[in-house]
Amino acid sequence: MRVACASAFCLSLVLTGCSFSPTTELAPDTGLALRGAVHGGQQPIAGARIYMLAANTTGDAGPGIAASSSNASHSLLSGTGSSDSLGSYVLTDANGQFTITDDYSCTPNTQVYLYSLGGNPGLGTGVNPAAGLIAALGGCPSSGNFLTSTPYIVINEVSTIAAAYAFSGYATDATHVSSSGTALAKVGIKNAFANAANLADLSTGNALATTPNGNGVVPQTTIYTLANALASCVNSNGAVTGPTNPTACYTLFNNATSNGTSTGTIPSDTTTAAINIAHNPGANIAALFSLPTATAPFPQLGAQPNDFTLGIEFSGGGINDPYAIAIDGSGSPWITNNGGTTSSVAQLASNGTPISPSTGYTGGGLTGLFGGIAIDSVGNAWIPNYSGNTVTELSNSGTVLSGASGYTATGLHRPYGIAIDGSDNVWVTSVTSPFNVVELSNAGATLSGASGYTGGSLAAPYSVAIDGTGNAWIVNKNTSTITQFSSTGTVNINAPFTGGGLSTPYSVAVDHSGNVWVANYNGNAIYGNSISEFSNSGTNIGGTNGYIGGGLNLPYSIALDGSGNAWLANSLGNSVSEFSNSGVPITGENGYLGGNINAPDSVAVDGSGNVWVANLYDSTVTELIGVATPVVTPIAVGVKNNALASRP
């Protein structure tokens, strides 16, 4: 076992953020893999067990998924001289210090984290078995170990919140972090682990105010407030007694259950509590906010928040009056922009770093980008040009593939909605008369004849989605109806479909069962501000008035996550709403408000479980970290593999 010498080191507390950083005496030595310390707030935790764990890739873990042997994290340590049912571990010394040298091995590109459990927080409380803290290290280096990089790692409540939120979509609890073995899932969990670095600095234990690249605003004080809630339990003896005179751990654990309600599983350590809060960021806000004491170790929000979502607001890459957003297979968001003198498309990396230049991608006929954007199965982006009556195709690196003016499809008139089928053919709606739907091949050739596909009482068809069998579903804004075409362009003889609360429908999505979900923009008292759901045969299954509540307020866009839950951008509410796959509202009356959401007109879910929102008025995009279930991206791959609204 390698344990750092207590007498050789001291800690320097940093009052801004109430964390600490190593002195020059603590500079990592050449050849050491990992060194660091564990703290509960400002207090070192002595005798804590430090495990090095790797995420599994043989079975999904995450919200609503039970812990099992197939999704258990792997222990990487060996030969330390100490082990238990979780694996080998090293102990922290009296100052909370630990050292791990060559006691481990890991497979390159597996995702690694440190888990600290138990120990004495040094407040006269004795050992606290409920003190669980984590730090996300990310991908194992190509060398198979961390010997070539020797960071100093602070494991505390801040690092725990950062990691718990970042990979919550792949975590059931502290020791069950796992994805499936698909290529998309491995990309998703890799990106999820990397997101922790956008929230906290592992070398200091501080929450960040801006992302390392500088273009993202991080909710620093919200992170600290959540860290304080954990610290109230960590800096105790871990007793879970109540409800009369409840201990801090009792209050934390009973308000951070697996489903956010009294029926959920109660966690036994603070890391699992943090993961559960990330899964249910709108639950029990008052109780969690009240946990920190007057001597809380980190800066606290001045007032109780609406919710505990962690939203990062990104700019750059040419984002300017963003209208639509889509996610590719690498987790990269693509955003259409209509601000400035030139329409453009912006692209960010999965961690929000700009990929496109400061002007965005331009040219290729991009003009009047009021409609949608879609990504095909090879990662190329397709954009309808409302003002140019053309469609532009960009490669996955932003190069124009469709010529100087875009594809001039026969019959296309004021193109708006766009979707891609399992053959990478592109379906585009003409939103002004003569109304139609035009189909293009993936080479830009017109497949739908001289007039496009017509019939079915098309009337201002705002949005189109393709189901797993290749049928196209189109919502008609002007008549509050739905039209369906087969994969060959034949209109369903029963179309248009009506009822179910349809009222000025703006956006449509299809789930794994082929059910059709519609966002109703109209805000009247009887219909609208609702979601309609229809079966794959066009039967209303969402009730007379559709699904209501959840903070819906002129919902402009809808997206489905890997659990089939619906996410809606509320253009008037400056919020995002979430509904279960059975139509039950999960968000409260205000929706989720994190990340300075402002006039959102598009929403998308990525393969890491993050929800991305385009903020029209702020010329930014917001990423709500780890709030959703990871989903197959791009949507065209979900169509192709019959995996719509499914986990990757």
Residue 482 token pair:
């739905």
More confidently predicted of 525 and 390: 390
Q: How far apart are CA 500 and CA 376, in angstroms?
A: 31
Output Rg (C-alpha) for the chain, integer angstroms.
25
Rounded to the nearest 5°, which phi and psi values hold at 8?
-85, -10
Q: Is the overall model pTM greater than 0.85, yes or no?
A: yes
Average pLDDT over residues 545-574: 96
Instruction: Say what the pLDDT of residue 149 is.
Output: 61
pLDDT at 104: 86
Across residues 443-464, what is the average pLDDT? 97
Q: Using the structure block, give the residue that is written with the tokens 């993050």.
A: 610
Neighbours of 621 (CB within 10 A): 29
Give the model's pLDDT for residue 23: 34
The two structure tokens encoding residue 212: 């390392």
Indicate whether 306 pLDDT > 90. Answer: yes
Lowest mean pLDDT among 3-7, 285-289, 441-445: 3-7
What's residue 145's pLDDT? 72
Average pLDDT taken over every residue of the chain: 93
3-state SS track over 167-184: CHHHEEECCEEECCCCHH
State the average pLDDT over residues 54-77. Answer: 97
pLDDT at position 24 over 50: no
Residue 131: which pLDDT band, with cuts at 50, 70 and 90?
very high
pLDDT recorded at residue 142: 80
406-423: pLDDT as tens digits: 999 999 999 999 999 999
| Residue 321 pLDDT greater than 60, yes or no | yes
pLDDT for res 526: 61
Sheet (strand 555-560) strand order: 555-560, 566-570, 575-579
User: How far from 280 is each of 12, 44, 177, 555, 578, CA to CA, in Å?
Assistant: 35, 30, 17, 22, 11
Is the pLDDT at 167 greater than 60? The verdict is yes
Q: 14 or 89: whose pLDDT is higher?
A: 89
- Report whether 41 contacts 19 (CB < 8 A): no
The two most distant CA atoms of the chain are separated, in Å, by 83
User: pLDDT tens-digit profile of 335-358?
Assistant: 999 988 899 999 999 999 999 999
Greatest mean pLDDT range, 18-22, 40-44, 522-526: 40-44
What distance in Å separates the CA atoms of residue 279 and residue 273, rounded to the nearest whole number? 10
Residues 6+ apart with CB under 8 A from 414: 386, 389, 430, 431, 432
For residue 32, what pLDDT is reported?
Answer: 54
pLDDT exceeds cutoff 80 at 525: no
Beta strand segments in 511-616, E: 516-520, 530-534, 555-560, 566-570, 575-579, 600-605, 611-615
C-alpha of 25 from chain center: 39
Write out the E strands in 15-110.
19-22, 34-40, 43-44, 49-54, 74-75, 83-84, 87-88, 90-91, 97-100
DSSP-assigned letter for residue 491:
B
State pLDDT tens for residues 177-228: 999 999 999 999 999 999 999 999 999 999 999 999 999 999 999 999 999 9
Of the listed ranges 75-79, 464-468, 488-492, the one predicted with least confidence: 75-79
439 DSSP β-pair partners: 427
Distances (CA, A) of 500 to 273, 480, 517, 519, 534: 39, 10, 11, 11, 8
Share of the chain above pLDDT 90, in %: 88
β partners of residue 36:
98, 153
pLDDT at 147 over 80: no
Evaluate if residue 29 carries a pLDDT over 80. Answer: no
| Residue 302 reports pLDDT greater than 60 | yes
What is the per-residue pLDDT for 31?
A: 44
Whole-number percent of the chain with pLDDT over 70: 93
Task: Kindly tell me if the per-residue pLDDT of 486 is higher than 60.
Answer: yes
Residue range 145-158: mean pLDDT, rounded:
81
